[in-house]
Amino acid sequence: MGAVAHGGHCVARHEGRVVFVRHGLPGERVVVRVTEDRHPGFCRADAVEVLEASSARVERPCPHSGPGRCGGCDWQHVDPAEQRRLKAAVVREQLSRLAGLDVDVPVEELPGGPLRWRSRARFAVDRTGAAGLRRHRSHDVVVLDDCPITEESAAAAVLRRPWPGAGAVDVSVDSTGAVTTTRLDRRGRPTSSRVVRPGGALPEEPAGRAERRAGGRDWEVEGTGFWQVHPAAADALVAAVSAFADVRAGETVLDLYAGAGLFGGALAPAVGPTGRVVCVESDPGACAAADANLSGFPQAEVWQGDVDAEGLAGLLADLGTAPDVVVLDPPRAGAGREVSRLLAGTGARAVVYVACDPAALARDLAAVTGEGYRLAGIRGFDAFPMTAHVECVALLVR
Ligand SMILES: C[S@@+](CC[C@H](N)C(=O)[O-])C[C@H]1O[C@@H](n2cnc3c(N)ncnc32)[C@H](O)[C@@H]1O
């Protein structure tokens, strides 16, 4: 079997066709079972028997993972250090193929080990009300009694209890240990939210704000609203973004896709009272949290709006002055070519791009580097152990 590709499967060939194989490792000889065959050029398969094993293969710590089982993890069968090497290879390949960049990006380990790191998760609920996770590329729910990559209290709050009538349940555990669950209907709309506090007088109360700690301070977040999933990720990303941005007093910083204002809030002290930080976020609940998190900084503002080609053009006009530094942390699909080009057009001295998908990152970097910027630094973080996902932070300068 050949190299690992974006998505975590190995690329193999059979009778001229590409086979994307899950549950294998590069260099292994395996017997596969085809799981999907709908395309003339390729099919998908699971490695169901290992004939020649890689030295990086390990016993799966999770009893629910494996061919045909829970689709939550890609690499339970891979030694964690090798997982990081595989992620680095995928980032390198995506940057080379999609952005023409030849760069090594070692993927750094975060503290805490490969299990129990997931502080936020969405579990699916089947028609009987039982909670679990979906099978890979399927709507079937694999009912779980535990999820070993999820923090214990969060997994216990959702699994092994019935959720009649729900379509899914979001759960998050904050830095005080409070566990918030949000029930979603079958169309994915939130219907109710509850919080259980450790040692609280009430067993359950309506959800409010959660508390998270990063960059040496506390942050307010909506109960199950966006926050970095790995408990060490926010700290690591704030440190990486701050070092790359190297913000100076009096500068103007744009924090796009700002969530609860993590990066804008971390950079606000550095611009000082003569500078300006503008956080832009589309979600009203996240904007309210960002307002609270930035309330101590008169130089910081939160704007609710969409970062798309039209929205960004208006936003840059409203800003009235060119930003010195732009930080962006878009969702998985990336910012897109138009937004990337508009950002390059601002002439900002530094663009710091935080990305959870190396393919989207590479496509957006290609757009920015085509407009007079060059990649001056990039780091990778293993913020999602046991999965093929990786977080990157890139610095672009003119
Ligand atoms: C990956 S999160 C980053 C949040 C924040 N930087 C953090 O690390 O906590 C992406 C954020 O972008 C927001 N978002 C998604 N699409 C957006 C858009 N088109 N315009 C503005 N914000 C958007 C989401 O609501 C989410 O809060």
**Residue boundaries of the structural domains of the chain:** 1-57, 96-111+228-397, 120-208
Residue 250 has a CB neighbour count (10 Å cut-off) of: 13
What distance in Å separates the CA atoms of residue 82 and residue 75, rounded to the nearest whole number?
10
Cα(330) to centroid(ligand 1), Å: 6
Q: How many CA atoms lie within 13 A of 301 on its CB side?
A: 12
pLDDT at 37 over 70: yes
Query: What is the rounded average pLDDT of the residues 219-247?
Result: 96
Q: Which fold has domain 1-57?
A: OB fold (Dihydrolipoamide Acetyltransferase, E2P) (2.40.50)
Helix boundaries (H) for 151-261 = 152-158, 233-245
Mean pLDDT of 317-334: 96
What's the CATH architecture for 96-111+228-397? 3-Layer(aba) Sandwich (3.40)
Average pLDDT over residues 121-130: 98
User: Is 73 considered catalytic here?
Assistant: no
Distance 349 CA to ligand 1 centre (A): 23
* 149 has a pLDDT exceeding 90: yes
Q: Using one digit for the tens of pLDDT, what is the confidence trace for 153-211?
A: 999 999 989 999 999 999 999 999 999 999 999 999 999 999 998 876 555 666 778 99
Distance 23 CA to ligand 1 centre (A): 32
Choose the residue to mutate in 281, 307, 326, 357 for probing ligand 1, maximizing ligand atoms within 8 Å of C-beta: 281
Left if phi > 0, otherwise alpha if psi is -120 to 50, otherwise beta: which for 23? left
Letter for the amino acid at 137?
A: R
Which of 241, 282, 357 is the best mutation target for the ligand 1 pocket, counting ligand atoms within 8 Å of the beta carbon and taking the most? Answer: 282
Helix or strand holding residue 80 (H, E): helix 80-99
pLDDT tens readout for residues 364-397: 999 999 899 999 999 999 999 999 999 999 999 9
Phi, psi of 83 (to 5 degrees): -55, -40
Mean per-residue pLDDT, 297-312: 96
- pLDDT category at 344 given cuts 50, 70, 90 is very high
